[in-house]
Each structure stands twice: as structure tokens, then as C-alpha cells.
A and B are shown apart, each in its own frame.
Chain A
């Protein structure tokens, strides 16, 4: 192991030792997870999965084990009638909607689920592989709790929202974790909103484990709006059962450095997934998205469709991968990555990848990176729109194609408004 890269582990080990007494029966599982993190260490510059994203600044930091001063959170209006609030990794029932969750949903804490007989290996699972395995392991070691959400078989509960807030007036880290399971034949919608302000530097290391049962449909809406001084690393690991569908709508608007690894296993025949999203890397923001879909059974279908905008000194990375494994005949894999550079200094690195080990499949992929169409800009200006209005209209049209597919009206509205506000500022700042 590289000695230079081992050094940052020490700070986390201190944090782990400090938290150890609170782990109770989960101590062994958490210790194993921590050792996995220590073994993998921070990625080096030679690590292919971190080719365009440098974590040197994060590796140089030391954060206390628990955020010492969780502060009051100022939250935006709820997007659904039932909302849960997680602050620095801990569910705070008193801040969320009072009363029972929508019919069909069960919420439990880690210790409750364990006492109900669920294995810790599932509740604190460390997903194997990918550039963020190390951080998912760190999360399993340090998460203060797991929010376990179960959708009962055959039910269609009302959508819920989970706001995951990072707080504190001093630099700190948090390791929020959710486990969402949609049982056979159920349909559910969950909004996951990561929020944080600029009051201090934060490291948010989030994990969402998702299981979609046979004939079940889970829609996950993710909004990333962390402060500019944040490092946000997230691993979403989903497994989809027979004829089940996992739909992800992702809007990445805020974070100093954001990295999402979204891994989907289409594990049974006719399992399907649709991953659509957008990212806006303006200012000096760095947003990195890695999608990975494994087609493991016959008749599985996947769609990856992301759009990215970069401006200023912003930088974004999109890496979409679909692997059609041997035996996954009659599968379909489609990938699209469209990217827009608003200013010359911005950069987006995109790489759609298909690996196909079956012969009877339909696959295609495409990636584009460009600037606003000069012909369209001139057309709009020739009708009297200012250059700024024309650029704004065309940029909104570009992102709107993704937003219009976010089939939760309130969520889509919040994303659209946030995008508009940012674009106005962005374009006004330009000469």
C-alpha cells in the first residue's frame, strides 16, 4: 500500500475508535467495514475510477468523529406531505412530519431491524467494487444509524421525502445511510434531498441501498444541493428483481466536489432500470457521475440518459457503463450523454461504455459535448431577445428535456426553479 495514501486513514481511525463504544452488537461488522476502508485507502491519481477527480484536498483533512455542533436546520418547503429529516446522519423524528408514514411504508432504525432478526451483513452491506467501495465501507463503519424503509408487498404508498441535511458551524463529516426495499408488486416514490449550506466545510459520505422486488417499481428522485465548500460522495447500490423497475431521476445542482456512483444490478429476467439526470457544474464546482448497470439475466433493459452543463471553471465527469453478461440474451441497453459547455474554461469529460458478452442484444450509446447552437442563438436574437436571454432560453431547453421527464410535479418544479435561478446568475455574470 502506498504510505502517502495510508496517512489520511489515521484521522478516520481515530474517529472510528472514538465512536466504537456506541456500536453495540454491530461493532464487529463495523470494524470489518473499517478495515476494508483502511485496506483500500484513498484513491491515487493512477486509479482509473478517479481519473478526472482528485481527492487530494479531501485526503488532507481531518474531521471529528461526530459533528460536534449539529445546528438548527433551515429547510425548504416539503415536496410531499410526509417528510423525514436526517441531520448529520441521524434521523430527527421531531423535525419531520408527525404521525405515521403513508400506509404501506415501514420505517425502522438499524438496531430495531437487527433485533427483528435482519442480518447486519445486509443492513451494513459493503458493496464490492467501483471507485467508491472504500467510501461505502467507511460509511458502513461510521454511519450513526441506518434508515430502513420497507414498502409492503402489493402496496402503492404516497410518495415520501427524505431531507438529508449537513449542518454545523465548524468543519465536519457525516455518513448518512438509507436502505429502501420495495417488496414484490409494490410501487413507491422516494425523494432524497441532500442539503447543506456554506457555513463550514463538510464531508458528506452517503450510501443508499436499494432493493426492488419482483414486479415492483421504485422511483428515486435525488436532488443534490450542498454548499459550495462541501465534498459529497455517494454510493447508490440497487438490485432489481424479476420484471421489477428501478427509476432514478437525478438533479445535481450543488456541491463543491460531488461524486455519485450509481450501480444497478438487473439480477432477474426482465428487470429494468431508467437512470436519467442532469448536472450543473458552474463556478468552480466539480461533479463526477459514474453509472454502472449489470445485465445479469435475460430480457433485461436499461436506459442511461444524462445531460450536463458546465460553465466558469466548472468541471464535470460522466462515466456510464452497461455490461451485458453472458446469458443475458434479449437485453436492451441504451446510453446517452449530452453535454453543454457555456464558457471556454469549463470542461466535461464523458465516457459511455458498453461491454457485451451476449449475442442477441440491442445496445446503443452516444455522447455529445458542445456549445449552444450559433444558428439558434442568432435566430432568437434576430427576434429581439438579448444574447443573454437567448443563451438562457437555449440552456433551459437543454436541461428541460431531462426535467420534463421527472414525473413528480413538485420535484420537477423545484429543480426547474433552482436551475432557472442559477442560470440567470450565471448568464448575467458573463460579459
Chain B
């Protein structure tokens, strides 16, 4: 589904990704772990098409298409979803409006008809229940005045409504208390399926107690140094990141 080869990216003159390779197939859950500054969020941003990142080498292929050539909205419509590390507050743009406009854009791209108001609301209500969100969220501005946990839940709600093929979750666990973490993880798990791939970008192993990944990758200094299964995350939790770096240098 997603094939990243030799990806180099920089912000201004600062080189951040330095030859990253990653293969993600449908149905898989990948965790990308690494210390601060290793390039985790840059990877998520490049995949979503955020401005300000210059890709200097490498390719990203998504379902046979050149992802880097696509505008952010084209990526979204084609099924790529980024759950933001810092969801943006947009006062005056209604949550319902955004959900509806986003869903209709995605459905139109898929050749599906727009949902009518009744169907839409019924579907959103069901997903909100899953995310334990109060319906009053719908009438508020996007993320306006939301707590950190509410913003993260709202991200997963959007993901649940849009049903992406490839979801990239950027530090979705950061700033969450244990209850909120469970709700968010529950939301993500409910979206696991054979047609969907999920990439979790995280600093801590904690999220992986709730969302079991198929693969764990260690990102350091812009490259993936080591890949393994779920047990690698536990080892990282126990031993930190330094040994992986040393191991890579020796190799």
C-alpha cells in the first residue's frame, strides 16, 4: 500500500530524513518509534503534504500513485489520513461542517453518493459514542476550546468517519491520561481491518500496550535503524534507544 524508498527531506537547510525506507501493506499496523528529533513528525508531515518540507531525494508510492505529487486534499480523498500531533483550533468553522465536507469530498472521490443529513447524523452519532464524545461537540468550532484529550479524540473521530485506507497517527498518545488513552486506542482498534493500514508514530511504548503493532521500527537521525515485532518496543522501553544506535554503528 505504502512504499517509501530512500526518502530525504529537509526544512530549509536542515536535513531531517536521510534515506528512510518503509514498506506498509494493507492490514498491517506499524509503530515508528524514536527519540525526539529523530524525524518522526517530519515523516508524518511529508506523508500528509504539509508545506515547508522539501523532499530532496527518494520516492513515496501509495497504491501505485506518486504520493509526493498529490495535493494534501488529493491525498485525503485517496484515503490518507493524518491524525495531528497538535490539532488546530479553528474557531467559527463548525465541527459538523468539517466532518460533512470532508466525508462528502472523500465519498465523491470514491464515486459514492453524498449522505443525506439524517444518515450523516446517525453515522456520526454512532462514532461519537465509540469515542465517548458528547454530542455538544458537533455544534462547536473545530477543536475550539477543546482540552488536549478532547482534541485527540476528535482526530480519531474524524478518522472513524472518513474510514481512510492509510492512517498515520502522529504522537496521538502524547498528553493523554490513561482513560483517554484507552478510549483513543479503542477507537483505533475498531478501525483495524484487512483493507486498512495504520502507522503509529510514537515516542513511548505505552500506546502499544493497547494497540498491538505488527511491526516496530526504530527511527533515529532520519533513518530506520532497526525493525522488529512487538517485543522490540518492550526492549526499547527497558533499554532506551542508545543501544540501537550503537548496534547500528557497529554494523
| Interface pair B48/A382, CB less than 8 Å apart | yes
Residues of A within 8 A of B101 (CB): 383-385, 389, 393
Q: Shortest Cβ distance from B162 into chain A, in angstroms? A: 7
Supposing A379-B88, A386-B73 touch, asked if A393 and B93 sit within 8 A by C-beta, the answer is yes
Supposing A381-B71, A382-B49, A393-B97 touch, asked if A376 and B90 sit within 8 A by C-beta, the answer is yes
Please tell me the number of chain A residues within 8 Å of chain B, measured between CB atoms. Answer: 23
B50 touches A (CB below 8 Å): yes
Considering only residues 124-169 of chain B, those with a C-beta below 8 Å from chain A are: 141-142, 158, 162
A375 touches B (CB below 8 Å): yes
Considering only residues 79-135 of chain B, those with a C-beta below 8 Å from chain A are: 82, 84, 87-88, 90-93, 97-98, 101-102, 105-106, 109
B76 touches A (CB below 8 Å): yes
Whole-angstrom distance between the alpha carbons of A384 and B92 in the complex?
Answer: 19
Q: Shortest Cβ distance from A308 into chain B, in angstroms? A: 16
1/0 contact trace for A399-421 toward B, CB 8 Å? Answer: 01100000000000000000000
Considering only residues 112-158 of chain A, those with a C-beta below 8 Å from chain B are: none
Residues of B within 8 A of A387 (CB): 71, 73
Considering only residues 48-78 of chain B, those with a C-beta below 8 Å from chain A are: 48-51, 71-73, 75-77
Residues of B within 8 A of A397 (CB): 90-93, 141
A357 touches B (CB below 8 Å): no
A380 touches B (CB below 8 Å): yes
Supposing A378-B51, A379-B87, A389-B101 touch, asked if A384 and B93 sit within 8 A by C-beta, the answer is no
- Residue among A374, A397, A398 having the largest count of chain B Cβ atoms under 10 Å: A397
| Interface pair A382/B92, CB less than 8 Å apart | no
Considering only residues 46-60 of chain A, those with a C-beta below 8 Å from chain B are: none
Supposing A374-B51, A393-B101 touch, asked if A382 and B90 sit within 8 A by C-beta, the answer is no
Supposing A375-B88, A376-B88, A378-B50 touch, asked if A383 and B158 sit within 8 A by C-beta, the answer is yes
| Interface pair B73/A394, CB less than 8 Å apart | no
Residues of B within 8 A of A401 (CB): 91-92
- Residue among A384, A386, A398 having the largest count of chain B Cβ atoms under 10 Å: A384
- Nearest CB in chain B to that of A374: its residue: B51
Whole-angstrom distance between the alpha carbons of A380 and B90 in the complex?
Answer: 9
Q: Shortest Cβ distance from A302 into chain B, in angstroms? A: 25
- Nearest CB in chain A to that of B97: its residue: A393
Supposing A380-B90, A393-B101, A401-B92 touch, asked if A385 and B73 sit within 8 A by C-beta, the answer is yes
Q: CB within 8 A of A384: which of B91, B142, B162?
A: B162
Residues of A within 8 A of B88 (CB): 373, 375-376, 378-379
- Residue among B93, B158, B162 having the largest count of chain A Cβ atoms under 10 Å: B93
Whole-angstrom distance between the alpha carbons of A196 and B124 in the complex?
Answer: 45
Whole-angstrom distance between the alpha carbons of A382 and B74 in the complex?
Answer: 8
| Interface pair A400/B72, CB less than 8 Å apart | no
Residues of B within 8 A of A381 (CB): 49, 71-73, 76
Whole-angstrom distance between the alpha carbons of A355 and B145 in the complex?
Answer: 35
Q: What band does the interface of chain B fall in when counting residues whose beta carbon is under 8 Å from A?
A: 20 to 34
Whole-angstrom distance between the alpha carbons of A387 and B49 in the complex?
Answer: 13
- Nearest CB in chain B to that of A375: its residue: B88
Whole-angstrom distance between the alpha carbons of A393 and B48 in the complex?
Answer: 20
Whole-angstrom distance between the alpha carbons of A393 and B98 in the complex?
Answer: 9
| Interface pair B93/A394, CB less than 8 Å apart | yes
Residues of A within 8 A of B105 (CB): 383-386, 389
| Interface pair A378/B72, CB less than 8 Å apart | yes
| Interface pair A394/B90, CB less than 8 Å apart | yes
| Interface pair A384/B90, CB less than 8 Å apart | no
Whole-angstrom distance between the alpha carbons of A401 and B51 in the complex?
Answer: 28
Residues of A within 8 A of B97 (CB): 393
Q: Shortest Cβ distance from B201 into chain A, in angstroms? A: 15
Whole-angstrom distance between the alpha carbons of A374 and B49 in the complex?
Answer: 13
Q: Shortest Cβ distance from A27 into chain B, in angstroms? A: 53
Whole-angstrom distance between the alpha carbons of A216 and B37 in the complex?
Answer: 63
Q: Shortest Cβ distance from A335 into chain B, in angstroms? A: 20
Whole-angstrom distance between the alpha carbons of A401 and B141 in the complex?
Answer: 11
Q: Shortest Cβ distance from A210 into chain B, in angstroms? A: 31
A396 touches B (CB below 8 Å): yes
- Residue among B75, B87, B88, B106 having the largest count of chain A Cβ atoms under 10 Å: B88
Whole-angstrom distance between the alpha carbons of A335 and B62 in the complex?
Answer: 51
1/0 contact trace for B8-44 toward A, CB 8 Å? Answer: 0000000000000000000000000000000000000
Whole-angstrom distance between the alpha carbons of A382 and B85 in the complex?
Answer: 13
Q: Shortest Cβ distance from B63 into chain A, in angstroms? A: 16
Supposing A374-B51, A385-B73, A387-B73 touch, asked if A380 and B92 sit within 8 A by C-beta, the answer is no
Whole-angstrom distance between the alpha carbons of A212 and B77 in the complex?
Answer: 56
Q: Shortest Cβ distance from B76 into chain A, in angstroms? A: 4
Residues of A within 8 A of B158 (CB): 383
Q: Shortest Cβ distance from A371 into chain B, in angstroms? A: 13
Residues of A within 8 A of B141 (CB): 397
Whole-angstrom distance between the alpha carbons of A261 and B88 in the complex?
Answer: 38
Residues of B within 8 A of A400 (CB): 92
Q: Shortest Cβ distance from B246 into chain A, in angstroms? A: 37
Whole-angstrom distance between the alpha carbons of A374 and B51 in the complex?
Answer: 9
Give 9 closest A-B pairs by Cβ, nearest first: A397-B92, A384-B105, A384-B76, A383-B102, A381-B72, A379-B88, A381-B73, A384-B102, A397-B93
28 pairs of residues in contact across A and B, judged by CB atoms under 8 Å: A373-B88, A376-B93, A379-B84, A381-B71, A381-B73, A381-B76, A382-B49, A382-B72, A382-B84, A383-B98, A384-B73, A384-B101, A384-B105, A384-B106, A384-B162, A385-B105, A386-B73, A386-B105, A387-B71, A389-B105, A390-B73, A394-B90, A394-B92, A394-B93, A397-B91, A397-B93, A400-B92, A401-B92
Known: A378-B72, A401-B91. 8 other contacts (CB 8 A): A374-B51, A379-B84, A382-B48, A382-B50, A387-B73, A393-B101, A394-B93, A397-B90
Task: Point out residues on A near B: beta carbons under 8 Å.
Answer: 373-376, 378-387, 389-390, 393-394, 396-398, 400-401
